[in-house]
Homo-oligomer: A and B are copies of this chain.
Amino acid sequence: MIPDNGLRARRLGIDTHSETVVFLRKDCSVCRSEGFTSHNRILLSSGAHHAIATLYQVESDILGCDEAGLSDATWRALGLKEGDFITVQHAPPVESLSLVRSRIFGHALGEADFQHIVPDIVAGRYSAIEVTSFITACAAQPLARDEVCFLTRAMVDAGQRLRWDQRIIADKHSVGGLPGNRTTPIIVAICTALGLVMPKTSSHAITSPAGTADTMETLAPVDLDERALRAVVQREGGCIAWGGAMRLSPADDILIRIEHALDIDSEGQMIASILSKKIAAGATHLVIDMPVGPTAKVRGAQAAASLTAGLAAVAENFGIRIQVMMGDGNQPIGRGIGPALEARDVLAVLTGRPEAPQDLRGRALALAGGLLEMSGGAAAGQGIKLATAALDDGRAWTKFQRICEAQGGMRTPPVSSHRKIIAATRDGAVLSIDNRRIARLAKLAGAPQAKAAGIALHVRLGDMVSAGTPLCTLHAEAAGELAYALSYADANADIFGIGAS
């Protein structure tokens, strides 16, 4: 006999990412009768829909005693509409949390354990601190190789999975951390022009100034559902779409938010994150771009070698062929940092303009070449040659335009309305460029929300400059954002390290 715990659901419009949060008045009858306190996990029910949410108690009139205030994630999880009523009660214990505790205290997890934990995370049954505890435990006592395989499998199983008729599905991933490294649109254009099937799904930026989906969105629609995506691939052999609508490895989206907030990347989780997305997308042949440098995500040769070995072993377990291609991660790639600025670099490379950034062109050709060779699209040693030919004779550009048309029509990237040049304050050689702070600067200028915002670089490592030489141009869509980025640049004059070479 549960008393009537009906409360009017109210959408508070609070963005808590995927975390389900509920606000109740401390003095409401259900808080009193159930003995709730803040941070309790509460079971919310609306008809056949249930969600477990973290409770914050309210002692003010922003809520009525007969109301339950819900964060957006909670509102969506319950499938509510205005005026609906919900009931609330203590959440039953989430059984898989005992497995997390057992992992904390040193017991390895088996395949069935991950198959309990991961779906519970995806279903929102874990609070943010519970997800944190799982992530930290798997970093502090590193995941064994078989645990990484189990985790990867569970992450794949907890989401949708794309299946393709073709025997070979080519894909590409970048380990990230390098601003401006926007090779994907170029690689897809080259490889599909040469006959590979490459249904590429990408993400929006989480912490960077642009994700591939952000850049691509300035060139064509990317928000395709599965039917639309399949139609594009059917027609053109490839696409460059946003993967979000496909729910590929949704666990990854939850885990990665917490990993970013904590600024921890453990090798096992990075492998499961990368491969679960690709397995779910149906990839059979995968080239992985791994920039290595002191301010890139992978900071040195040892970490790169270890990550590469782990990726290869787990990929083999799933029957996926991978090739990891390490690259120079000491400075950004290309000139633009930010969605539209990177899109213009991509266009310059695809159309063979003389000012096209050669590092971006070279990196895209190397990765496309590697992918062609491993996928049977080129004989050994012939990949780069074939890729270069397809790029230089316009086949890649034609294919790119066709893909954009198939995705809904090609667009022209927007142009910034506010700009400011940042100049060198001394003579010397450019000795270093800090990837992390240059990315931060681009974000302060408004990227990726402001599509035209970001940075255009004018120098590369080794260039000689004098006081007054332009180092980069800030691009913004609003005066306030430009001013704010400028103040950060003033306070961080050493983003560009200039000195005696």
Seen from chain A, the residues whose Cβ lies within 8 Å of a Cβ on chain B are: 1-3, 11-17, 23, 26, 29, 32-35, 38-39, 56-60, 62, 71-72, 97, 101, 103-106, 127-130, 132-133, 135-137, 139-141, 257-258, 261-264, 266, 443-444, 446, 449, 478, 480-481, 483-484, 486-487, 490
Most chain-B CB neighbours within 10 Å: which of A15, A127, A133? Answer: A133
Quick one: which of B3, B71, B129 contacts A484, CB cutoff 8 A?
A: B3
Q: Report chain B residues within 8 Å CB of A105.
A: 139-140, 266
- Cα(A129)–Cα(B54), bound, Å: 14
Cα A130 to Cα B128 with chains together (Å): 11
Please indicate the chain B residues that have their CB under 8 angstroms from the CB of A481 in the complex.
32-33, 35
Number of copies: 2
B104-A480 in contact (CB<8A) = no
Assess A141 versus B141: contact at CB under 8 Å? Given A38-B15, A39-B257, A483-B1.
yes
**Contact present for A487 and B1 (CB under 8 Å):** yes
Q: How far is the CB of A436 from chain B (nearest CB, A)?
A: 11
A16→B56 contact, CB < 8 A = yes
Q: List 18 A-B contacts (CB under 8 A).
A: A1-B487, A2-B484, A3-B480, A13-B60, A14-B56, A16-B56, A29-B480, A32-B480, A33-B483, A59-B72, A97-B263, A101-B263, A104-B264, A105-B139, A106-B140, A128-B128, A132-B133, A137-B139
Bound: A11/B62 CA distance, A: 10
Minimum CB–CB distance for A2 against chain B, Å: 6
* Highest count of chain B CB atoms <10 Å: which of A14, A26, A60: A14
Closest CB-CB distance, A46 to chain B, in whole Å? 20
A-B contacts besides A1-B490, A32-B478, A104-B264, 20 pairs, CB < 8 Å: A14-B57, A14-B59, A15-B38, A15-B58, A16-B56, A29-B480, A32-B480, A35-B444, A62-B62, A104-B139, A104-B140, A106-B140, A127-B261, A133-B133, A133-B262, A136-B136, A136-B137, A136-B140, A140-B141, A141-B141
Of chain B, the residue at the smallest CB distance from A23 is: B14
When C-beta atoms are compared, the residue in chain B nearest to A69 turns out to be B62
Could you tell me the distance between the alpha carbons of A3 and B488 in the complex, rounded to whole angstroms? 11
Output the least CB separation between A53 and chain B (Å): 14
In the complex, what residue of chain B is closest to A30 when comparing beta carbons? Answer: B480
A62-B13 contact, Cβ under 8 Å, with A39-B261, A137-B136, A480-B3: yes
Alpha-carbon distance A128/B128, docked complex (angstroms): 9
Cβ distance A303 to chain B, nearest Cβ, rounded Å: 11
Which chain B residue shows the least CB distance to A445? B35
Pairwise interchain contact B258-A129, C-beta atoms closer than 8 A: yes
Residues from chain B with Cβ under 8 Å of A26 in the complex: 15
- Residues from chain B with a CB closer than 8 A to the CB of A23 are 14
- Contact status A101-B14, CB under 8 Å: no
A446 and B29 CA atoms in complex are apart in Å by 12
Tell me, in angstroms, the Cα distance from A15 to B128 when the chains sit together.
Answer: 17
Minimum Cβ distance to chain B for residue A170 (Å): 33
Which of B59, B62, B137, B264 sits near A140, CB closer than 8 Å? Answer: B137
Q: Would you give the shortest CB distance from A318 to chain B, in whole angstroms? A: 27
Q: Which single member of B104, B263, B486 contacts A136 (CB below 8 Å)?
A: B104
Complex Cα distance, B1 from A38, in Å, reads 39
In the complex, what residue of chain B is closest to A2 when comparing beta carbons? B487
Residues of B near A478 (CB, < 8 A) are 32-33
Which residues of chain B are within 8 angstroms of A484 by Cβ–Cβ distance?
Answer: 2-3, 33-34
Q: When chains A and B are docked, how far (Å) is the Cα of A104 from the Cα of B266?
A: 10
CB distance from A270 to the nearest CB of B (A): 13
- List residues of chain B with CB within 8 A of the CB of A16: 38-39, 56
- Given the known A-B contacts A33-B480, A33-B481, are A58 and B487 also in contact in the complex, defined by CB atoms under 8 Å? no
Q: Report A139 CB to chain B, min CB distance, Å.
A: 5
Residues of B within 8 A of A137 (CB): 136, 139-140
